[in-house]
Chain A
Amino acid sequence: EVQLVESGGGLVKPGESLRLSCIASGFTFSSFAMNWVRKAPGKGLEWVSCISGTSASYIYYADSVKGRFTISRDDARNSLYLQMDSLRVEDTAVYYCARLMPGMDVWGQGTTVTVSS
């Protein structure tokens, strides 16, 4: 079964850091570009970051997280990561990882990040 499972969410204070993980199974992870998308309370979906498959030849970030978040992948571990530094209250959201096919055709269940003092 094709599956993505996120973890690493939690409650942190503004300015602190958090690292999200997404473990893939059921497909050749290295062949696919991967994305992080978030849904803040009361708001719509927001794309966060994308990393290409095999060799991670391109990486993109939304302007709202550029310079604070870092996406990476470990194809040997079938894992996608999002290092989130200098977190802000407005980063509070459910974070999803998603496979890019074209179209984001497989999504995880999400992990919740809450940034509050």
Chain B
Amino acid sequence: DIVMTQSPLFLPVTPGEPASISCRSSQSLLLSDGYNYMDWYLQKPGQSPQLLIYLGSNRASGVPDRFSGSGSGTDFTLKISRVEADDVGVYYCMQTLQRYAFGQGTKLEIK
């Protein structure tokens, strides 16, 4: 089974500052079609999860361009260029190559 490992697990950020979350998979998520089979999600307090990034680097509809996904193979990063108060919640990476599996989650908090 593919295991997804996120870091850090807790991320305090000052509004207006950038933030970065790392996700590492136990095996490569890059297929010969050129896509990396992983997504990023955010679950805000009291809400259902929402899709941020799909196939490694594609921003979902309605997601601000402050959010970006990068990486390939086994190492991926979600970057927020300027954190806002509304960005608080738990961020998850998920692999979609072999069935599905989420990382442990990274809780972003405003300082």
Q: Hey, which bits of chain A sit against chain B, CB under 8 A?
A: 35, 37, 39, 44-47, 50, 60, 62-63, 96, 98, 101-105, 107-110
Contacts and interface: CB of A to CB of B under 8 A. Distances in A.
A77 B111 CA distance: 47
Contact of A110 (B48, B58, B101): B48
Given A35-B100, A103-B60, A104-B39, A45 B51 contact: no
B43 A45 contact: yes
B107 to A, nearest CB: 10
B90 A44 contact: yes
Nearest to B35: A102
B54 to A, nearest CB: 3
Contacts of A44: 90, 92, 102-105
A45 B61 contact: no
Contacts of B51: 101, 103-105
Contacts of B101: 47
Contacts, number: 58
A92 B96 CA distance: 24
A44 B105 CA distance: 6
A44 B54 CA distance: 19
Interface in B28-68: 39, 41, 43, 48-51, 53-55, 58, 60-61
Please give me the 10 A-B residue pairs with the lowest Cβ-Cβ distance, nearest first.
Answer: A103-B54, A47-B100, A44-B105, A107-B48, A103-B51, A45-B102, A60-B99, A103-B39, A105-B51, A102-B54
Given A50-B99, A104-B41, A45 B55 contact: no
A46 B102 contact: yes
B96 A102 contact: yes
A107 B99 CA distance: 18
Contacts of A63: 1
14 contacts: A39-B43, A45-B41, A45-B43, A45-B94, A47-B101, A47-B102, A62-B99, A96-B49, A101-B51, A101-B54, A102-B55, A103-B55, A103-B60, A105-B54
